Structure 1
């Protein structure tokens, strides 16, 4: 009888151990995301609001997220660990030659996806750095020209409502506070435009306009999934359901993952 109880106890222990292992496997990360963000300056408030939102999304959706504050550590070895690279309000300059080449290869070879926000199109000659021509081509061949320094609210129109990143996003939504960059030309001929800003809805009105003004797009000429979302200055955006839905969808789409 005693031996039978011991055997029974061992069986029960094994079953609990196996169940625990299965549970641990179920909790394993679906994918890994790398976030490059600015830890100071003009966009610090947005970065500070974005991180807790991203952390909660990662926990709720079972993926892993790591953060870096500059491009010094970016190389092929680092990037190959991640299924999606999120460029959170970080400009396309101050990068080293190695970091630029590593990112170019990551996108050209389909190694992982990319989500870029706002400051990622600050393309030009800044702080003594030349324009990164490859990145300009990646963004549709554009160069930064101007912005609305006093900010304006405006209506964003979703042009491609069938794209996976716009699922659950209304056809039109308002952004209350934004700088609205202008470029030397519209990227439309070289990219797939998903959304644009209606400049006639600027409040207050501004003379800083570019006519055809895309603000959300992808570049289908690259193997890697990629999406650029210009909107990304105000921390209040994380209270805007249309924006957070768009950003959440973009992360999962770029990572080539489905969200349950």
Structure 2
């Protein structure tokens, strides 16, 4: 009888551990990363780095990760297979692709966007010709300016209660990046919750040589979400590249920063409804 009770106890302990591990992993979900990776070596470098990182994190955290550079997959049938969509560098351009993405988001889909996915400048190869995306969904409007060259910045947590921020200190040092300024005032948008901004201890930010590409003051949102959608945008995603010596070698990476990696993963798990 004693052995029977010992067996029951051991089985119960094993079941508890299995259940706890299953709860830790959470319900599996599927993620699809869209990218172009054609126009700028800094963005191309980030895309390849991100695809490796997300694939590795998928194995560790019980979700699946696929990626594609075929934007014709931006259609309802394809998107219905995935719970989270990521834009790694650009955005859909055809009316049908844009309509499919808007419907996906309005029907409860989730989205994460990096750096150049929010870029819009008229005139340019990426004009501001999609008002729903840039003005309502992102809220940022058009590109305003940027720092140069890519440098680290100290970021400040604006809403520590958000699940994506739960493992961060009040400030942390981000990976080197080209930081963007936007035409719209995100603070004035009632639908936008700014999660990270550039801390004043970062100034001056940038090294030039052009003086207007060095920021000395101001308020600059870096990561935010829109309360009307399940989404999060983060301005990270521009690696430093050796353009000067024409080697196109990576001089910095986006991933590999403990704090930044953690909040990126926490943001993705939140989007996947963990």
Are residue 229 (structure 1) and residue 270 (structure 2) matched? no
**What are the within-5 Å matches in structure 2 for residues 165-176 of structure 1?**
165-176=164-175
| Distance across 1 between alignment mates of 2:87 and 2:126 | 22
For normalisation by structure 2, the TM-score amounts to 0.76
Distance 1:60 1:144, change over 3 A: same
1:35 corresponds in structure 2 to 33
Which ranges in structure 2 are unaligned for 5 or more consecutive residues?
Answer: 1-21, 240-251
2:133 corresponds in structure 1 to 135
Q: Does structure 2 conserve the Cα–Cα contact (< 8 Å) formed by 1:144 and 1:184?
A: yes
**What are the within-5 Å matches in structure 2 for residues 28-177 of structure 1?**
30-42=28-40, 43-88=43-88, 90-92=89-91, 95-110=93-108, 112-125=109-122, 126-127=124-125, 129-136=127-134, 137-177=136-176
| Distance across 2 between alignment mates of 1:95 and 1:199 | 36
Deviation at 1:145, TM superposition (A): 1.5
Q: Does structure 1 conserve the Cα–Cα contact (< 8 Å) formed by 2:225 and 2:231?
A: yes
Distance 1:150 1:55, change over 3 A: same
For normalisation by structure 1, the TM-score amounts to 0.80
1:14 corresponds in structure 2 to none
Deviations 1:226-260 (A, max 9, x none): 11111221262211011101110111111112xxx
| Distance across 1 between alignment mates of 2:44 and 2:30 | 24
Q: Does structure 2 conserve the Cα–Cα contact (< 8 Å) formed by 1:154 and 1:199?
A: no
| Distance across 2 between alignment mates of 1:128 and 1:34 | 22
| Distance across 1 between alignment mates of 2:173 and 2:186 | 22
Q: Does structure 1 conserve the Cα–Cα contact (< 8 Å) formed by 2:119 and 2:126?
A: no
1:214 corresponds in structure 2 to 221
Deviation at 1:207, TM superposition (A): 3.8
2:259 corresponds in structure 1 to 242
Which ranges in structure 1 are unaligned for 5 or more consecutive residues?
Answer: 1-25
Q: Does structure 2 conserve the Cα–Cα contact (< 8 Å) formed by 1:194 and 1:216?
A: yes
Q: Does structure 1 conserve the Cα–Cα contact (< 8 Å) formed by 2:175 and 2:257?
A: no
Distance 1:34 1:204, change over 3 A: closer
| Distance across 1 between alignment mates of 2:152 and 2:127 | 32
2:195 corresponds in structure 1 to 194
CA RMSD of aligned residues (A): 2.3
Which portions of structure 1, spanning 4 or more consecutive aligned residues, are displaced by more than 3 angstroms? 26-29, 202-210
Distance 1:72 1:198, change over 3 A: same
Distance 1:72 1:213, change over 3 A: same
Secondary structure of the residue aligned to 1:72 is helix
Are residue 178 (structure 1) and residue 177 (structure 2) matched? yes
May I ask how many residue pairs the two structures share in their alignment? Answer: 227
Distance 1:36 1:199, change over 3 A: farther
Q: Which entry has the higher C-alpha Rg, 1 or 2?
A: 1
